[in-house]
Each structure stands twice: as C-alpha cells, then as structure tokens.
Structure 1
C-alpha cells in the first residue's frame, strides 16, 4: 500500500479515536453532572439514611472527579453515621472510611483548602479513636502545611495541649528551646487571629452606635465576640504551659537569642514583653523589647507598659505622658476610665487641679465610675488649708463639698455605697456645726464659693 495512503489512514484513525474519546468523555461528564444534581435533589427530599449512603457510594465510585461536592456530602453522611453509631465496633470502620475519604479528597482535589489533616485529627480526638501521638502528628503537619486553615480555637488549644503532653512524656524529641519555639508559633497564630477578629468586632461595634446593623453584620459581630473569647482562653492556656516550664533565666535566654530576627515583628515583641512582664523579669532587655514595641506599634497596651517602666524609674511626668497616650488609644470604656484614674492618682495631691481634671475625664467616659468621686472628695479634704487658711468657717465648709462629692460615688456605683456613706458621715462630722453656722452669722441655703483651684460652691445645709 502507498505509504502516503497508509499515513493518511492512520492519521484518520487517530483523529477518529480522539474524537470518539472526547465524545465519550463529554457524555460521561454530562452523565455524572446529571447524577450529582439528581443526588443533591434526593438528599433535599429525604433524611440521611442507609439509602442515601448507598447512593452516595455509587456516585463516588462512578464519578470520583466530577465535583468536590461529592466529598463534602460524603463527609456529612459519614460524620452522621459515626455520631449515630452506638458501639466502638460500629464506629471503628466508619471512622476508617471517613479518614480514607479525607485522603481521597486531598488526592483528587489537592488544592481544596478544607483542612482535611485537621479534620482527621478532630475525628480521632472527638471519638477517642486514635492515640495522642497520631493526632499530634496530624495537627503538627497541618500547622506547618495548612497554616491558613488553622484558625479554629478548639484545634489550636488541642494542638498546644498535645504538644505539651508529648514533650513532658518525652514522646517527641524536642529540646526545651524547640518546644518553646513551637508553642511560641502557636501563640503568634492565636495573636494574629485575635487581631483580625478584634478589628471586625470593633468596626461593627462602632458602626452599631450610629446605624442599625444588617442581620449578617449582627451575626458576624456575635461570632467575632465568641471567637475572641475562645481565643483569649487559648492564649491563657498557652501562656500557662510556657509559664510551667520556664523561669526568668530561660525566658530571657530564649527571647534574647531570637531578638535580632524578630526586632521588626510587633507580634513577637508584644509576646516577649507580655511574658517577661508576667514573670516579673524586669531587666534591661525587657525595657529594650518594650521600647522597640512602642516604637513599632504604639498601642494602648504598649504605651501602658512604657508608662509602668517610666514610673519604676521614678520619672513621674514621663509615666503620665505614656499613660495619657494609652488612654487616648484605648477603645474599651472600662480600661480607658481606669487609665484616666491612674493618671489622676499619679498627679495626686501635689497637683490637685490636674488630678481632678483626669478624675473627671474618667467620669466622662464612664459616668458610674464611683472611684473618681471618692478621689475628688479626698482632694477637697486635702485642700482645707490651701483654699481657706484665713477663714476657719470656710476652711471647715470644704467638708460639705467633700461630703456631697463622696455621696455621688454611692449614687452612681452601688459597689461604692458603703465607702461613700462612711466618708459622707465622717466629712459631715468635721463640717461646721449648727452653732458654728450661727456664730459665723451664716444661714442655711447660703452659697460658699471656693476661689482657689477648686472653683466650686457649696450650699450651707439645714441642720
């Protein structure tokens, strides 16, 4: 046969075969798509039972690459069967099947981002089906390879818990330094997630003050609050685990060794500062870390730490400067009020007018902050010689102003009522008596003004 004709026949046969293959593939794809649609419709109309399981198994066997939905539906079906199983003998093969499904999902759809390593660990942990070593390996690998999916507070807590137990039982070969590094990485992940969630929470909280949130926004706000609370507990647990195995010497060595490569990492600096502070490791290195953190990230927290450092160095004015910055940056009303009160007491009796100014700032942000009224009343009592030294009657009359101010504390804050009542009674006893009012030729209802730093007036009470 002519070679050209032979080549032409072969070429035509190849093209025909390819066309037939493509046609068959398209036909199969179309058939699989229809089967998946039909199965999803069947699920909507029926409860999850053995029939659904059987139909799903058949669908996966016939169309394993059609859609991720097949694997996600399979996860739900098998998870429910695991939950419904009453004995270990019933659960065990179902758990194995679900573990295999996760592996198949990752194999067929390798970029699925569903955190199947984490899912496998939770399946074993929740059903007490695997040993702690196996679960830890799944989570440890997931933390390294699937870090973006490692956001569940429960998972982060389990991972740090297993890391601790594996290290203490010497079931993993880690030095103390390597162990601390791993725990620190978990802490940074928690820190990072907390910052994201707090941003969502703060933005939605701020928005809710001026306009009504949508249902989706309300749900997002509630979920972010819940997650922040859960992650805060994880942080406390991780810190407790680090605290259990370290002292100042160990912590200082660990953080000093890692400082240079993390000197521009605000999250790392924040952790180092917090842990050294919690352990009361007040060294030059602690100051170095805190100063660097404040320079990189001047937050309410970092400014407060700098204020504490300045106060420890007896630099009162600088501590006030940092505390004021911290209060300005603080978004939590309770913490802001406490900061203003701290500034007020730092000014104290030597600078009474400034002290009262900041005590009043605390009341502006938190009107029921009774401590401020108590403190202001004490400032007034401490001013009897400063404001009316040449007038004995007005000198004692300041106790009326102090008593009225103290009484306000109990009126706005029930927890301060006992203290407020005691001070009111004590101050009233030291104020002018009925006889002294008469001798001074004054009468009830008359106003007495204090022209010194106080700049307030008080009415003579009817005794």
Structure 2
C-alpha cells in the first residue's frame, strides 16, 4: 500500500514538473513571438464563424504579422464574403486586399485564376464598375491563369459580358466569336475531365462491382460537375443566340474573306461556324479549299468530306472522314469526326458499325452523352430483331434505358432529354405483371442479335 502511494506521488510530481516546463516554454514562445497571440485573436473567432468578434483584430494581424499564417487570408476571405452577402459592399475592397496579400506572401499556395475570377465575379454581382471594366477583370484572370479559371458560373459571366458589350456597340462581332471558340473549348476540357472520371466509376458499377463510400461520394461529385458544365455550355450557346446564324455569318465572312484568307486560324473558325450552322453558301467551299491548300489538316479533310457528302459522293466523303480521324490530335474534335461517321452508318441501318464508332467517339470525349443516347435509340429500334418471344423483344428496352441513363449522367447538356428517353424505354419494357406472368423475375436474358450482351430481369 505504501509503495503504491509513493508511486502515485512520484507520477503526480513528474506530471507537475512537465506541466511547469511546458507552460514556461509556451510562455517564452509567446514572449518571443507576439504574433501567436495577435493572430489567434483573429483566427480563433473567425474559425468559429464569429466574424464580428474577429474583424477588430484583423488589421493588426496584417500590419504586424502579415506572413504569420496562410490561415489569416483564408479566414479573411470567408469573413469579408460573409459581410458582403449581408449587404456591406464596402468590404469588397477589403476582400480584394486580402486576396492581394495572399498572392504576395503565399503565391505558391494560391491559384491566381481562381482568386482573380472570384474578385471579378463579386464586383459583377454587386454592380461595381462598368461592363467593360468587369469584362477586363475576367479577361485578366483567364489570360493570367486559365488552368485555375474553372468556375462554371464565372466562365459564363466572362462570355456573357462580351456579348453584352457587342450588343452595346463596344465589341466587334468577330471578338465575340473568337471568345466563344475559346470558352467552348474550355468548357469541353473541364467537362471532359470530370466525365472521364465519372465513366470509370459507372463502368465499374456496370461490371457488377460495389463502389466504396469514397468512390460513391466521388461519383456524385463528378456527376454534379458534369451537369454544371453541361448547363453552362447550353447557356453560352443561348447567349450567343441569333448573332451566330447564317444571316449574320455569311455577310461577315464574305466581307472579311479577302483580307483574312491567308489567316489559317480565322479560316478554321469561320469554316467551323458555317459548318455547324449548315449554311448554304459557296463561300464555305472557297474557305475549305483555301484552308486545305494552306494547311492540310484534319479539319480541312473533314470539311471536304461534308462537301462530298452534300454532293452525294458518299464513298469519297467517308475517305475524307477517315483521313480527318487519322490526322486529328485534339480528342474533342476527333470525337466529332467519329460521331459523324457513326451517324452515317446509323442512317444507313448499319447499327453495329454505328455503335462501334459512337463508342470510339466517347473514348475520345467521355462527356459526349449523345453517343450513348443514339445507341439507346438503336437498341429500342431493334426490339423485333432481338428476341424470340414478345417478352424478350420488349426486354431490350431495359438495355436501351441503361444507355439513356448513362447519357444523362455523363452529359448535363442533354440530361433532361436523356432521362425522358430512359423513362419512355422503361414504359415499353415488360411490366411487373408481365414479369410475374412469364415467371422471369431475376433471370438473365441474352440477346443473340447485333446488340449482344444481356439484361437481368428485375426481381418482384
């Protein structure tokens, strides 16, 4: 008993000694570095979102201890955004200063494109500056750090301001078209990054694997982001609106053709827009011939294919399309050429070949959901050829619905249409009463037609 008491006393004494040493050391650190106290008076309440209590201490931190911690500026941004959302626009200047200080002292840990575009968006949202000033702020952010200029909302605002300035006579129509090409390329790049990751997880699910909680969270996040970029893509097109129709494009390009006929980039852009709108003009033929002469490329080969197709020269068109696919190095453009070939096969009823090219297209551009939607349509159209009984013929609609749902998940721009299509296919598939009557619940139905594969009949 006595030994136990002595042992406990010894432990208590040792603990007290360590406590005294630690307190003494901490006190010395505080005495040597007053920034510990100064910064904590701001950071601690800011961390608890008590911004009213944090604000009075902020100026002292940035004046006396500007390089103490990155957290100073991280919490400062959140604090000033809070006050701005509450209606205090005077804090916008403070927010910009906080961002400037972060870039000054922690440049390697800061994403300039994200920061500058955030400032630009806040100024836009609060009506600060002229439209031209607001546009230039976005333009600066994009050109300084395009890689980290990724917010769908800010990308749209950037283009929207350019179109508004054109409407007000402050920008030339060609400037708007040039920016449109850049913005669409940016959207497709970001959308494609998320769609590729999403497709990998969807394929894993389709192959029967169970996703982990972490993978499921990622899948949901990727799907949301694909949806955001899909919506913005449609919004940018809608904003461009009627100024990109043939009535505007043809006279614009006719007026500029002689002056810019040796400008390869201009020819590519102009021919691309005339092609996209299917404008009937001899100018398109001139542009394509000139482009192919100056810089034989995938694009010029593709346009020559379009011209051959319009002239009814199908085999010649196909040769040009194949050449375009072989020459193209940009995945998004290659996907478009493969899609064109797939469409040609589909319209001729060669569904198996069409599917092959649609799938090649989504390999290049994972967010190209319309390819899955077209495959779904072909599956549904093949119901009479893909079963021996009425039940089996209708079962193909489950497979069509799977494809349509996949289209909706990887491509936000067609999500609504694809989901409607999936719903329609499900209505054509066997009902619960059909499944019960046929005694097929839980069974697997294989397809011996061009579709191949199988579907599992739902359990009742």
TM-score, scaled relative to structure 2: 0.56
Q: Is the 8 A contact 2:194 2:222 kept in 1?
A: yes
Contact 1:255/1:272, CA 8 A, preserved across alignment? no
- Determine the structure 2 residue equivalent to 1:308: 306
Once the two structures are TM-superposed, the CA of residue 77 in structure 1 deviates from its matched residue by: 0.2
The C-alpha deviation readout for 1:61-103, integer Å capped at 9, x for no partner, is: 3212334432231111011112123xxxxx2322343344444
Aligned position for 1:66 = 68
Partner Cα distance (1:295, 1:227) in 2: 36
d(CA) in 2 for partners of 1:156 and 1:199? 16
Give the 3-state SS of the residue equivalent to 2:112 in structure 1.
Answer: coil
- Using the TM superposition, give the Cα deviation of residue 232 of structure 1 relative to its aligned residue in structure 2, in angstroms: 1.6
Please point out which of 182, 185, 188 is paired with 1:191. 185
Distance 1:28 1:286 in 2: 75
TM superposition shift of 1:148: 4.0
- Hey, what does 2:167 align to over in structure 1? 168
What RMSD in Å do the two structures reach over aligned CA positions? 5.1
Alpha-carbon distance in 2 for matches of 1:262, 1:406: 57
Q: Is the 8 A contact 1:43 1:52 kept in 2?
A: yes
Aligned to 2:251: 249
Match of 2:452 in 1: none
8 A contact 1:303–1:326 mirrored in 2: yes
Distance 1:367 1:117 in 2: 43
| Residues in 1 aligned to 2:178 and 2:321: alpha-carbon distance in whole angstroms | 29
Give the structure 1 partner of residue 34 of structure 2: 31
Write the distance in 2 (CA, Å) between the matches of 1:321 and 1:409: 37
Question: d(CA) in 2 for partners of 1:169 and 1:330?
Answer: 33
- The 1:37/1:248 distance shift into structure 2, 3 A limit, reads same
Q: In the TM superposition, what are the counterparts of 1:270-309 in structure 2 within 5 Å?
A: 271-277=269-275, 278=277, 280-282=279-281, 283-288=284-289, 296-297=297-298, 307-309=305-307
The answer to whether the Cα contact below 8 Å between 2:163 and 2:240 also exists between their aligned partners in 1 is: no
1:406-444 CA-partner distances (Å, limit 9, x unpaired): 999877569999xx9xxxxxxxxxxxxxxxxxxxxxxxx
SS in 2 for 1:66: coil
SS class of match (2:175): helix
Structure 2: gaps (5+ residues): 1-28, 360-374, 401-420, 429-460
SS of the aligned residue for 1:221 comes to helix
Aligned ranges for residues 7-406 of structure 1 at < 5 Å?
30-32=33-35, 35-36=38-39, 39-44=42-47, 46-85=48-87, 91-106=88-103, 112-115=110-113, 116-170=115-169, 172=170, 174=171, 176=172, 179-181=173-175, 183-206=177-200, 208-210=202-204, 212=211, 214-215=214-215, 217-219=218-220, 221-237=222-238, 239-240=240-241, 242-243=243-244, 246-254=248-256, 260-262=262-264, 271-277=269-275, 278=277, 280-282=279-281, 283-288=284-289, 296-297=297-298, 307-321=305-319, 340=342, 342-343=344-345, 345-346=347-348, 358-361=350-353, 366=375, 369=378, 372-373=381-382
CA distance in 1, matches of 2:145, 2:32: 31
Structure number with the bigger relative contact order (C-alpha 8 A, sep ≥ 6) is 2
Tell me by how many angstroms 1:254 deviates.
4.8
* Bigger Rg, structure 1 or 2: 1
Unaligned runs of 5+ in 1: 1-25, 86-90, 347-354, 378-400, 421-463
Following the alignment from structure 1 to structure 2, what is the Cα–Cα distance between the partners of residues 249 and 66? 60
In 2, the alpha carbon distance for the partners of 1:255 and 1:145 equals 32
Distance 1:255 1:35, change over 3 A: farther
* Partner Cα distance (2:342, 2:107) in 1: 54
Higher mean alpha-carbon deviation, 229-238 vs 49-58, is at 229-238
The alignment covers a number of residue pairs equal to: 340
Q: Secondary structure at the match of 1:47?
A: coil
